């Protein structure tokens, strides 16, 4: 659930309710990672701090997000265009999807270099969807062509940048590149919005 739209008690109850199935499916795997749905960590400081304290108490580390191109935005347009069998539009979606991913790579790397003068290990946020499944092989090829390799979340978040998310004793600090840039008054690189194109295609 979206923490910004629910109480702390409701949110914590859902976390607890989900744990038995996670434990069963993961066996001895490290399943104590938590990515906030919608990246919403509470609309008030009190709610934010209460839920973070609850998660720490239950042994969770936060799965931060440092690379994301809103891949989910292509799924509804894909469904519309596939239903209409509009191959030209589908081709446009494929092209814009990969372009958005490539531009996001540049955005994240430029921001990381501005803040740290290096590439941090990025944590890429992806979603389950029909178009994501269709595009995944080409998307992985794109990342690899840009020099990326894929590692386990724990390995990526062993970098010092993620201590705020993984170390219960670390002082509070932004856990995203954009948040840190705002704190340091570092300008963000330009980003292209595909929202209007995706909203209007195959209507």
The pLDDT, as a whole number, for residue 106 is 97
Q: Which domain holds residue 21?
A: 1-62
The pLDDT, as a whole number, for residue 164 is 81
Q: Are residues 114 and 192 in the same domain?
A: yes
CB count, 10 Å around CB of 75? 19
| Residue numbers in the chain where pLDDT is lower than 50 | none
Q: Does the residue 95 lie in any domain?
A: yes
The pLDDT, as a whole number, for residue 173 is 73
Q: Are residues 46 and 83 in the same domain?
A: no
pTM exceeds 0.85: yes
Rounded Cα–Cα distance for residues 39 and 84 (Å): 33
The pLDDT, as a whole number, for residue 182 is 93
Q: Are residues 22 and 77 in the same domain?
A: no
Rounded Cα–Cα distance for residues 19 and 32 (Å): 9
CB count, 10 Å around CB of 187? 8
Q: Does the residue 49 lie in any domain?
A: yes
DSSP 189: P
């Amino acid at each position: 659930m979206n923490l910004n739209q629910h109480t702390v008690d409701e949110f914590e109850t859902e976390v607890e309710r989900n744990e038995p199935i996670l434990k069963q499916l993961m066996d001895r795997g490290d399943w104590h990672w938590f990515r906030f749905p919608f990246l919403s960590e509470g609309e008030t400081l009190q709610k934010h701090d209460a839920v973070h304290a609850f998660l720490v108490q239950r042994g969770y580390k936060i799965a931060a997000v440092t690379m994301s191109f809103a891949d989910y935005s292509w799924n509804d347009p894909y469904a519309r265009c596939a239903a209409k069998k509009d191959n030209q539009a589908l081709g446009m979606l494929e092209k814009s999807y990969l372009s958005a991913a490539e531009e996001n790579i540049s955005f994240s790397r430029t921001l990381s270099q501005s803040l740290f003068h290096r590439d941090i290990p990025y944590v890429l946020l992806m979603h389950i969807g029909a178009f994501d499944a269709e595009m995944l092989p080409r998307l992985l090829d794109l990342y690899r062509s840009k020099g990326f390799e894929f590692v386990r979340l724990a390995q990526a978040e062993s970098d010092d940048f993620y201590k705020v998310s993984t170390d219960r004793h670390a002082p509070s600090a932004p856990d995203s590149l954009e948040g840190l840039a705002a704190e340091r008054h570092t300008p963000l690189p330009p980003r292209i919005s595909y929202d209007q194109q995706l909203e209007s295609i195959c209507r």
